[in-house]
Structure 1
Amino acid sequence: MPEFGAVGDGFAINDPEVDWMQRAYTAPRSAYFVVERDGVVVGGGGLAPLAGGDGDTCELRKMYFLPEARGLGAGAAIIDRCLLAARDFAFRRCYLETLRGMDAAIRLYERRGFTRLAAPLGDTGHGGCNAFYLRDLGGPPA
């Protein structure tokens, strides 16, 4: 995140959850997936119920990739895996927050069906984010 200027209060990098990821993502309706390259974790992303949101909306969270993992399709694969899990958990919508200027990530989110919102949803605590997206997941899984 510091690579993109996301430092200080209001950014996920200062989120205590980063220090206890296993506890956060073993909670109900939550999951975290990683990408390995040559036995080394080079990125990942997860989902969990949107804090302060309704029970039908999850949040795509903690999408981090090292530079060597970018441009290989890893981000798309993680998003697709998270959306599959979101449907399995019976979420109807998926929300995310990011930063303007993270152009490659924004293009990826938009290619994956996320549309920009004018204002944030829920209460994520990431007040430093300034771009908000939502994707409809369709009805409950068949």
Structure 2
Amino acid sequence: MRIREIQFNDNSQIESIIKSIFRELQLPLTGTVYEDVETTQMFESYQEEKAVYFVVVDEGEVKGGSGIKVLDPKDASICELQKMYLSHEIRGKGYSKQLLEICLDAAKSMGYKQCYLETLSELKTAQKLYKQYGFEYLETSMGNTGHSSCGVRMIKTL
């Protein structure tokens, strides 16, 4: 397995992984990335400046991914960790940590000062990982992500 930047041909695979996880874990579909237009166009969505999306690939098959992008264009110092999802066959094998480290390193190299994220309250393992990496809980949301069902918000100083 290896981790690399997303390519155009990865779009359908990463969309399928993200949407299947929502169904598998019976997560809310409304007010989440499940409904995001960019979930169907991941490669295109991360072509802007100071944005990158990484995928975990095994023998040409995408198994998961995560990315960073500016949270609010009015404040280019804060990025958002976005769409960290792994297929069930690679969960618990350290790929979330690797993706998180790669994303945080990329964020620092792009000049971001803070990294924000939103997640679902049901995703306890993800929250535990984020806390291990220094993310702290926030009471209110930042930016305009449109993810009203994501009741957990966290931030980390880079």
Amino acid in structure 2 at the alignment position of 1:133 = M
For the residue of structure 2 that corresponds to 1:127, the secondary structure is: coil
Structure 2 length-normalised TM: 0.82
What aligned pairs does 1:106-125 form with structure 2 within 5 A after superposition? 106-125=127-146
The percentage of aligned residue pairs carrying the same residue is 36
In the alignment, structure 1 segments of 5+ residues that lack a partner are: 138-142
Asked if the contact 1:47–1:82 (Cα under 8 Å) also holds between the matched residues in 2, the reply is yes
For the residue of structure 1 that corresponds to 2:125, the secondary structure is: helix
1:78-97 per-position Cα deviation (integer Å, ceiling 9, x unaligned): 01000011011100000000
1:18-49 per-position Cα deviation (integer Å, ceiling 9, x unaligned): 11111111110000001123432111000000
Structure 1 length-normalised TM: 0.91
2:3 aligned partner: none
Query: Residues 73 and 53 from structure 1, CA distance in 2 versus in 1: closer, same or farther, beyond 3 angstroms?
Result: farther
**Backbone CA RMSD of aligned residues:** 1.3
Runs of 4+ in 1 over 6 A off after TM superposition: none
Task: Name the structure where helix makes up a greater proportion of residues.
Answer: 2
1:57-112 per-position Cα deviation (integer Å, ceiling 9, x unaligned): 00000111101111010001001000011011100000000011211111111111
What aligned pairs does 1:1-142 form with structure 2 within 5 A after superposition? 1-51=22-72, 54-137=75-158
Q: How many residues align?
A: 137
Query: Residues 98 and 33 from structure 1, CA distance in 2 versus in 1: closer, same or farther, beyond 3 angstroms?
Result: same
TM-superposed CA distance for 1:7, in Å, is 3.3
